Amino acid sequence: MKLDLKPASDYPLPDLTYLLNLSFENYLVPVTFNLIQFLTMLRKDSVDLSASRVLIADDQPAGLALIARRGWTSRLAAMGIVQSMRSKGAASWFMKKLIQDGRDRKDHDMVLEVIEQNQHAVRLYQKCGFQTIRRLIGLIRKDATESLNGAMAEIDLREAGKMIAQSGLSDLPWQLAGETIAHMNPPARAFCRGAGLIVTSDPNAEHVVIWSLLMEPDARGNHLGVDMLRSVIASHAGKTWHVPAIFPEEFGKIFEHAGFEKEELSQWQMRLEL
């Protein structure tokens, strides 16, 4: 089997979308992108197609790795192998090449998130030297209603990103970082109340994703986060509210106090010093 790599930027975007979906066929969780969703991910997550790679096996596309970049840090945003090539050593070969690419770019580190229950992938990254930072969890609250409805002011998503960059954890998962939030566009929304901030997907949809919940340091420990969750739910009653499994586990109690239930799926946030 002859393996090679080509820059993802050599391929048309529809072809990359198709290859991404094919590379995650029969994955642990469904992964399906249309072209618009793929373009949104590239923009929001700072994916660099010139640094991303298509795996070539015997002259045919056999996998895709999307590399996001900010400063001296790169993130493995996605890596998948087509089903016919799995368990043949291609993933290990691919990962070693991606790490070497990062070193050649003189990146300082590479980060990723991997589903904890995907033991094969966890072992691959551990074998390549990645160290665990923390567990990431997801939570959900269905058909939610609340009576508490305190006033919140809507702010620009760029301002929300700035607040997160200034007051959030310095090692937040990539998708929760201030830079990511600042690259979101409406219908996503950002609301603040005093020293608290919440960012959601379109709250008028039936299924709403919470992308950020932040309290500035001086306001922590006074139930502001719980009150903000209840207030935004009260303003948009009857929805399903979802916290994706990219939130640090230490944030979980805030959501549980607001009636959310922890989901079974979890992830490891990992880092490799290059």
Phi, psi of 86 (to 5 degrees): -75, 150
Identify whether 47 is part of a domain.
yes
Give pLDDT, residue 161.
97
CATH code of the domain in which 214 resides: 3.40.630.30
Distances in Å between the alpha carbon of 233 and those of 75, 237, 247? 33, 6, 19
Residues of the chain whose pLDDT is less than 70? 149
Tell me: do 152 and 81 sit in the same domain: no
Tell me: do 170 and 102 sit in the same domain: no
- For residue 31, the 8-state DSSP code is -
Identify whether 235 is part of a domain.
yes
Q: How many domains does the chain have?
A: 2
**Cβ distance 55 to 63 under 8 Å?**
yes
Tell me: do 144 and 218 sit in the same domain: yes
For the full predicted model, state whether its pTM sits above 0.75. yes
Identify whether 126 is part of a domain.
no
Name the burial class of residue 219, with classes exposed (0-12), middle (13-18) and buried (19+) by CB atoms within 10 angstroms of its CB. Answer: middle
Boundary residue ending a domain (107, 128, 162): 107
Residues in the chain: 274
Three-state DSSP state, 8: helix
Tell me: do 84 and 14 sit in the same domain: yes
d(CA 128, CA 4): 19
Identify whether 65 is part of a domain.
yes
Tell me: do 42 and 153 sit in the same domain: no
Tell me: do 185 and 239 sit in the same domain: yes
Question: Where in the sequence is the domain holding 245, given as residue range(s)?
Answer: 138-267
d(CA 222, CA 266): 27
Give pLDDT, residue 171.
95
Identify whether 58 is part of a domain.
yes
Boundary residue ending a domain (84, 107, 130): 107
Give pLDDT, residue 150.
74
Identify whether 192 is part of a domain.
yes
Tell me: do 184 and 63 sit in the same domain: no
CA nearest to 34, candidates 47, 12, 49, 16? 16
Tell me: do 142 and 256 sit in the same domain: yes
